[in-house]
Amino acid sequence: MKRVLITGAAGFLGSHLCDRFIKEGFYVIGMDNFITGDPKNLAHLENHSNFEFIEHDVTEFVEIEGDLDYILHFASPASPIDYLKIPIQTLKVGSLGTHNLLGLAKAKKARILIASTSEVYGDPLVHPQSEDYYGNVNTIGPRGVYDEAKRFQESITMAYHRFHGLETRIVRIFNTYGPRMRLNDGRVIPAFMGQALRGEDLTVFGDGSQTRSFCYVDDQVEGIYRLLFSDYAYPVNIGNPHEITIREFAEEIIKLTNTSQKVIYKELPVDDPLQRQPDISLAKELLHWEPKVSREQGMKWTFDYFKTLSKEELFESEHKDFKQHIKR
């Protein structure tokens, strides 16, 4: 049985990846320190014979007993609100954490896939964004801690590939959504859905003319799975090219959730990218992949998930595990 280590396993994407690899017959080792994740996301795997969990901060030396065939490095805060609250940890997990996992991959002769992001393109001057665009990132702005950690992560991964001959894969993930996103992580989809469920007005930042392109989690996981088993070591965009302005998106959510709330406008965060849409030509050609789930269907499934949360979860304003990690 092939063995795979998934970091960030208690998070949104990591937990879905655990499910997918178990379904495909792998032995899965999940690793997480819960800084933005939640044990609840893995509760259904607790007694599964092909799954084990290790609570560990990947910025510290990572030790795994036995063989490893694959590593998927998904540990990192991922929402602007999260990485503004824990900027040092964000820089450390992208740099020191990635270094540790590359070292582990080298020692185990494992193939490693790292989770990069459309944020490497910053506030893009090229539209849509293709992999050969180098980006427009403000290194010292508040988002720089995430963007630059991810850019460094790509560089060190390519260095291990070129210098050590390590088998590496890099996925540039564009905004992805679905069940198990944290309701209070500040990202626009949980934000709007939480507001709809609490009976609050929907907060659009700026004038709402900025665009995003939202990919449903199952499509994202399929793209990542195909990339891991391809033979391509350079970055590949995985996302849904169906672009929408945030203002129109708020209207869609009001319709979907059937609420009587209105849209209110708040200040646009610093360096918030004005437009974002993946060029997925490379993924189509290389992986024969493209997204299948419509925004209407994906949003409905996601809202169904948020509706199952308890009142307590619905009104929780901050992630309970931030504080215990913030001291370092």
Q: Catalytic residue numbers?
A: 146
Is residue 76 within the footprint of ligand NAD (CB under 6 A)? yes
Cα-based angle 68, 10, 230 (whole degrees, multiple of 5): 45
The residues facing 54 across adjacent strands are 31
Contact 115, 76 (CB under 8 A): yes
27 binds, among ligand UDP, ligand NAD, none (CB under 5 to 8 A by kind): none
**Where do we find the tokens 């740099």?**
95
Among 5, 11, 28, 71, binds ligand NAD (CB under 6 A): 11
Toward ligand UDP, which CB reaches closer, 16 or 108?
A: 16
Which residue of 93, 120, 137, 280 would you call a contact of ligand NAD, by CB under 6 A? 93
List for the chain the helix, strand, coil content (%; round to 5). Answer: 40, 20, 40
Q: What whole-number distance in Å separates Cα of residue 275 and Cα of residue 175?
A: 12
The distance of closest approach from Cβ of residue 122 to ligand UDP in the complex, given in angstroms and rounded to an integer, is 11
- Residue with smaller CB distance to ligand NAD, 71 or 259: 71
Determine whether 30 is exposed, middle or buried from the number of CB atoms within 10 Å of its CB (0-12, 13-18, 19+).
buried
Task: Tell me the closest approach of the beta carbon of residue 211 to ligand UDP, in angstroms.
Answer: 8
| Binding at 57: pick from ligand NAD, ligand UDP, none (beta carbon under 5-8 Å per type) | ligand NAD
Residue 326, CA distances (Å) to 18, 271, 278 in order: 27, 24, 34
11 binds, among ligand NAD, ligand UDP, none (CB under 5 to 8 A by kind): ligand NAD
- Rank residues 125 and 159 by Cβ distance to ligand UDP and give the closer one: 125
Task: Determine contact, residues 215/176, Cβ cutoff 8 Å.
Answer: yes
Of 113 and 197, the one with the shorter C-beta distance to ligand NAD is 113
Q: Residues touching ligand NAD: how many (CB under 6 A)?
A: 28
**34 near ligand NAD (CB under 6 A):** yes
The three-point CA angle 253-10-51 to 5° equals 130
Closest distance of CB 42 from ligand UDP, Å = 23
Stretch that binds ligand NAD, among 72-80, 127-135, 224-232, 244-252 (CB under 6 A): 72-80
Rounded Cα distance between 319 and 184, Å, is 7
Half-sphere exposure of 89 (CA within 13 A, CB side): 22
Residues that bind ligand NAD (CB under 6 A): 7-8, 10-14, 32-37, 57-59, 74-78, 93, 97, 115, 117, 173, 175-176
